[in-house]
Amino acid sequence: MYRNCLHHQLKTLAGILFFLVCVMNPTHANPTTPTQTTPTPNTHSQPQTTHQSRPNIVWILVDDMSGHFGYQGEKLVSTPHVDRLAKEGIIFTQAYATAPVCSTFRSALITGMYQTTIGAHHHRSSRGILKIQLPSDVVPIPKLFRDAGYYTSNGNADGTRPGKEDYNFDYKRQNLYDGIDWSGRGKDQPFFAQFQLRGGKHRNIPEGYKQIRTELDSPIDPTVVNLPPYYPDHPVIREDWAAYLDSVNYTDIEVGRIISKLKKDKCLQNTIIFFLTDHGISHARGKQFLYEEGVSIPFVVWGADLPQNHSPREDLIAHIDLAATSLNLAGIKIPESMQGRPLFDPQTKPRAYVVSARDRCDETVDHIRSIRKGNFKYIRNYLPQRPYLQPCNYKDKKPFMPVLRQLHADGKLNPSQSLIMAETRPSEELYDLTTDPWELNNLAPDPLQTQRLEVFRSLLSSWERDSNDRGQSFENSERYDSDMKPYLEKARRNDSDTANMLERNIALMKKWQQQGK
């Protein structure tokens, strides 16, 4: 009886203490409700989250791959893990890269800014003595996550070494990333993790491709692949395309391993996964160019508690929207100057159009802009007197390039296959993607398209002005030479033939510029 009385008194005392705590600190009124943080003011709404409840954000970024996953209709591949993300998540069917080459894409991605706005539009800039500094109001996304208490990481596919960065501005890795995966985070600390997958690059690296073939149940048969109509039916091109599809299958295996790691570490249920590629397949009309093969990318968002579950979404998005979306889902203030838009914020206005830009790629100077609006694609070639396939050490070493050049020289390419081999280009290209998804019939010369062309010209001119497109003038010679120097020095150490080719290409670029070509 004494113990019962004492127990009753203790319960009464505990109740009084709990009441006093609640009066002094209302956030503890419900012990099962975590403390709410005050949302940071911003032009976009921010979800209210706690340290423990904030979602982990994972980016899975794949090199050199177009829309050839199972969920996109490719019948020759088996991609169950990516397909699962697509089935359970949200597919964005109209996602575009703002740049069709690695370093410019990644510079835009990691800042949420057009690469042309921040001066990072030339592929492999800041590799020499002269460095590009980000504007003072542009902060890389990992630092914003870090400042908000997140653990940040960037690793390769299996999390054994640092992942690809390839940013065209001056930065230090240690100022952006805490590790190569989330294993070093604090207790209950949310993480922002990136995984960099080699994707389509595997196929042109003999040792890498040999390795992935050993892990595939059945490599793709080159005789059954379906080539786009603008590529000739040739054994070498078929074999290369089959190797590319093998890379798609292997990418899915890597995605499965990442998902398994998240599950093993009991992180999956509180994680939002973004799966995308950095641009299209490295091919003649793909990577480096602004056709659909080069800039249309897979983009999937998966998570248990996404604000919206309508899928697929067909609104136009730019890949820089990933930055703003990730910050928004984590409850982190989006910088007012950021050009990316949060895709799940109800206040976000859909993009009326998307812009992509191609500038110098390695030693090869170019200047192209495109706009996708509605069902039409507009391309502006600012250097129309140059061939599409200018000399380019990187591209000319691909197995398909000698074949294309030889078939063209022999007159064995049909009109569609000959388009990319032209010695000059039209100043403008216009395609109706509904009736011409392969972009073979340029409508720009058609008098019936005059009004539509005027609309696109006006849109592009306004975008170049409003976004401060820094690619409107030639790169100065000092900066060009600064970036070419380490490129040449490496070639001279390793391969004299490559060094000689680079020297010829660089000399030609300078000659054409002097000629106003």
DSSP string covering 419-447: GGG-SS--SEEEEETTT-TT--S--TT-G
Confidence of residue 308 (pLDDT cuts 50, 70, 90): confident
Q: How many CB atoms lie within 10 A of CB 457?
A: 14
Q: List C-alpha distances in Å: 83 to 63, 232, 280, 427, 506.
A: 18, 30, 19, 40, 44
What does DSSP say about strands 271-277 and 56-62: parallel, antiparallel, or unpaired? Answer: parallel
Angle at which helices 400-409 and 235-264 cross, to 10°? 160
Cα–Cα dist 237/417, whole Å: 13
In the predicted structure, residue 49 carries a pLDDT above the cut 90: no
Measured between alpha carbons, how far apart are the two ends of the chain, in Å? 102
Alpha helices in 48-197 (DSSP H): 80-88, 102-109, 141-147
Q: What is the mean pLDDT of residues 483-488?
A: 97
Average pLDDT of the chain is 91
Cα–Cα dist 411/509, whole Å: 27
Residue 110: the pLDDT is 98
Q: List C-alpha distances in Å: 17 to 4, 11, 21, 22, 26.
A: 20, 10, 6, 9, 13
Residue 414: the pLDDT is 98
Confidence of residue 3 (pLDDT cuts 50, 70, 90): very low
Please give the residue that has the higher pLDDT: either 213 or 338.
Answer: 338
DSSP state of 168: S
Kindly list the strands in the beta sheet with 376-381, ordered across the sheet, starting from the edge strand earlier in the chain.
Answer: 354-358, 368-373, 376-381, 428-432
Contacts of 261 (CB under 8 A, 6+ apart): 159, 181
Residue 205: the pLDDT is 85
Cα–Cα dist 514/427, whole Å: 20
CB 264 within 8 A of CB 183: no
Torsion of CA 430, 432, 436, 439, to 10 degrees: 30
Quote the percentage of the chain above a pLDDT of 70.
90
**Cα 136–140–144 angle (5° rounding)?**
100
233-270: burial string, b at 16+ Cβ within 10 Å, e else: ebeebbbbbbbbbbbbbbbbbbbeebbebbeeeebbeb
Please give the residue that has the higher pLDDT: either 377 or 33.
Answer: 377
Residues of the chain by 3-state class (helix, strand, coil), percent to 5: 40, 15, 50
In the predicted structure, residue 45 carries a pLDDT above the cut 90: no
Quote the percentage of the chain above a pLDDT of 90.
85
pLDDT tens digits, one per residue of 249-285 = 999 999 999 999 999 999 999 999 999 999 999 999 9
pTM value > 0.75: yes
pLDDT tens digits, one per residue of 181-239 = 999 999 999 999 999 999 999 998 888 888 888 899 899 999 999 999 999 999 999 99
Backbone phi and psi for residue 381, each to the nearest 5 degrees, phi listed first: -95, 110
pLDDT tens digits, one per residue of 435-465 = 999 999 999 999 999 999 999 999 999 999 9
Question: CA Rg, the chain, in Å?
Answer: 26
441: amino acid identity, one letter: N
Residue 38: the pLDDT is 27
Structure tokens of 322? Answer: 């990933």
Q: What is the mean pLDDT of residues 129-134?
A: 98
Backbone phi and psi for residue 123, each to the nearest 5 degrees, phi listed first: -60, 130
Domains of the chain: 56-351 (3.40.720.10)
Q: What is the mean pLDDT of residues 488-515?
A: 97
157-170: burial string, b at 16+ Cβ within 10 Å, e else: bebeeebbbbbbbe
CB 242 within 8 A of CB 213: no
In the predicted structure, residue 11 carries a pLDDT above the cut 60: no
Kindly list the strands in the beta sheet with 191-197, ordered across the sheet, starting from the edge strand earlier in the chain.
Answer: 90-91, 299-302, 271-277, 56-62, 191-197, 151-156
What does DSSP say about strands 354-358 and 317-318: parallel, antiparallel, or unpaired? Answer: unpaired
DSSP string, 231-297: S---HHHHHHHHHHHHHHHHHHHHHHHHHHHHHHTT-GGGEEEEEEESSS-SSTTSTTS-SHHHHB-
Q: List C-alpha distances in Å: 458 to 16, 214, 504.
A: 71, 53, 38
Please give the residue that has the higher pLDDT: either 41 or 241.
Answer: 241
CB 293 within 8 A of CB 400: no
324 burial type by CB count under 10 A (0-12 exposed, 13-18 middle, 19+ buried): buried
